[in-house]
Amino acid sequence: MSPCQLTAYTATSCLGQGLAAHRDALLADHSGLAPCTFETVRLDTWVGEVPGVDAVVLPPSLAAYDCRNNRLAALGLETDGFGDRVREAITRHGRDRVGVFMGTSTSGILQTELAYRRRDPVSGALPPDFDYRHTHNSFSLADYVRAHFGLEGMALVISTACSSSAKVFAAAARQLALGRIDAAVVGGVDSLCLTTLYGFASLGLTSARPCRPCDIERDGISIGEAAAFALLERTGDTRTAGTVLLEGVGESSDAYHMSSPHPEGLGARLAMEAALRSAGLQAGDIGYINLHGTATPANDAAEGRAVADLFAGRVPCSSTKGATGHTLGAAGGLEAVLCAMALTEGLLPGSPGTERLDPALPVDVVRRTRPGALRHVLSNSFGFGGSNCALVLGVVA
């Protein structure tokens, strides 16, 4: 593919609001996970909750969109000056030439979960203030972002569970390559809700401790929430040193099981190979891999096998989910931003929570964040339904 540049990017997660908070947390090998006290949830699990989301107030003209997920989106969009960079791009290109490509798994479903507690005792009707379209519906997130910036062009949500906000980079890159748009606001937002907390618990996939990616005793995920965004544009002929590039994308399907990965990581491997091919790079060109690394026994085993097969165990890798939790539909976007930070700051993120590496995983896990000059990195995201996506990002020397 022809590379796109990340003109701006930002992240908000349990590690904090903005890039500086994430850099500081990574450098300190800090985790934002805490025992779950979210809403009325009574589960023995840890979560990565973003503080202050309930206090966010949407602009009055966008009040119909009010729900936890869009509050988190609004918080994230106006962090690190990201919103201003988008508005500058709109001035450069026009309101109909900036597309919106968002990933989410559950959007504002919490709003419906809460509304179901307030049904009319006689008719069963939902309360009159409930607004399905602007909160619950998956598109609500992209619609909110489009309305937030007053955009008039194309917009979509990709909802492929935990690969959603990696795949939006690929979808946006396609439209940029074809000249259908001149810039894209891409990213992912997922927020805590009862469906995912009780749902992953029902599958036995949540840990009672902070998650431990690649650990021999890993026993499940810690659910997190996040808003991560990037502004993508085609690269000009002159590339400024330090600019982060989206260099390759690879997508595949497991075609195996709804909620378990292919045991040999075949789909994961296909996605990584496609991403390298798309970037015109060899495995040896990659300096760091941000693993999907959910810390379930099955995911890390399958992914570890695929990474070992393709990279011969020689590329440093880590999962940052011990720091942020598994932010589900926001994970691909969040981890792309962490990769951009790794490239520009010259650091290899560590793996908080990991104590004893699983010797059955023949991969080189970065335990503690360390300095390292990087040119190209790869980020993996895999989702339910066997949806796989790998991104290759690089930095202009």
Partner 1 sequence: MSAASGRSQASSHRSPEGEVSPEHSVTDRSPQTVWIEGIGLIAPGLPDWPTARAVLRGEQAHTPAPSVLPAPALLPSAERRRASRVVKLALAAGLEAVTHAGADASTLTTVFTASGADGHNCHALCEQLASDDRQISPTRFHNSVHNAAAGYWGIATRSMAPCQVLCAYDASFGAGLIDAVAQVVLERQPVLLVAYDSEYPEPLHAARDTPDAGAVALLLTPEAGPRSLASLRWHSDSAAPDRLTESSLESLRQQIPALRALPLLRALACGQAASVCLEYLPPMQLRIEVQPC
201 vs 357, beta carbon nearer partner 1: 201
157 vs 307, beta carbon nearer partner 1: 157
Please check whether residue 208 is in contact with residue 162, taking contact to mean a CB–CB distance below 8 angstroms.
no
Does position 180 interact with partner 1 (CB under 8 A)? The reply is: yes
Q: Quick one: which of 119, 314, 356, 370 contacts partner 1 (CB under 8 A)?
A: 119
Amino acid at 270: L
Q: How far apart are the first and last CA of the chain?
A: 19
Does position 113 interact with partner 1 (CB under 8 A)? The reply is: yes
* Catalytic site includes residue 136: no
Binding residues for partner 1 restricted to 326-385, rule: CB under 8 A:
383-385
Binding residues for partner 1 restricted to 79-98, rule: CB under 8 A:
90-97
Please state, in angstroms and rounded to a whole number, the distance separating the CA atoms of residues 317 and 365.
Answer: 5
Please state, in angstroms and rounded to a whole number, the distance separating the CA atoms of residues 90 and 70.
Answer: 21
| Contact stretch for partner 1 (CB under 8 A) within 192-200, 304-312, 338-346, 355-363 | 192-200
Does position 202 interact with partner 1 (CB under 8 A)? The reply is: yes
Q: CB 84 → partner 1: shortest distance, Å? A: 14
105 vs 290, beta carbon nearer partner 1: 105
| Contact stretch for partner 1 (CB under 8 A) within 9-17, 47-55, 128-136, 361-369 | 128-136
Q: Which of 363, 160, 121 is nearest to 267 (CA)?
A: 160
Please check whether residue 58 is in contact with residue 74, taking contact to mean a CB–CB distance below 8 angstroms.
yes
Binding residues for partner 1 restricted to 245-284, rule: CB under 8 A:
251-259, 266-267, 270
* Catalytic site includes residue 22: no
Q: Quick one: which of 13, 69, 175, 351 contacts partner 1 (CB under 8 A)?
A: 175
Strands 98-103 and 364-365, by their bridges, are unpaired
22 vs 269, beta carbon nearer partner 1: 269
Please check whether residue 130 is in contact with residue 110, taking contact to mean a CB–CB distance below 8 angstroms.
no
Q: CB 195 → partner 1: shortest distance, Å? A: 6
Q: Which residue bears the tokens 């940052």? A: 320
- Catalytic residue, from 22, 292, 317, 376: name it: 292
Please check whether residue 328 is in contact with residue 106, taking contact to mean a CB–CB distance below 8 angstroms.
yes
Does position 386 interact with partner 1 (CB under 8 A)? The reply is: yes
Binding residues for partner 1 restricted to 2-61, rule: CB under 8 A:
2
87 vs 314, beta carbon nearer partner 1: 87
Q: Which of 145, 148, 108, 105 is nearest to 130 (CA)?
A: 108
Q: Quick one: which of 12, 159, 320, 380 contacts partner 1 (CB under 8 A)?
A: 159
Q: Quick one: which of 33, 194, 295, 347 contacts partner 1 (CB under 8 A)?
A: 194
Q: Which of 214, 245, 217 is nearest to 232 (CA)?
A: 245
Which DSSP category does 44 fall into? S
Does position 131 interact with partner 1 (CB under 8 A)? The reply is: yes
- Catalytic residue, from 162, 214, 317, 389: name it: 162
SS3 237: coil
DSSP track, 265-299 = -HHHHHHHHHHHHHHT--GGG--EEE------HHH
139 vs 313, beta carbon nearer partner 1: 139
| Contact stretch for partner 1 (CB under 8 A) within 24-32, 108-116, 310-318, 356-364 | 108-116
Does position 179 interact with partner 1 (CB under 8 A)? The reply is: yes
Residues in the chain: 397
* Catalytic site includes residue 93: no
- 10 Å CB burial of residue 43 (0-12, 13-18, 19+) is middle
For the beta carbon of residue 308, count every other beta carbon within 10 angstroms.
19
- 10 Å CB burial of residue 394 (0-12, 13-18, 19+) is buried
Q: Quick one: which of 188, 322, 387, 391 contacts partner 1 (CB under 8 A)?
A: 387
Does position 69 interact with partner 1 (CB under 8 A)? The reply is: no
- Catalytic residue, from 214, 326, 339, 389: name it: 326
Give the residue numbers annotated as catalytic, written as ranges: 162, 292, 326
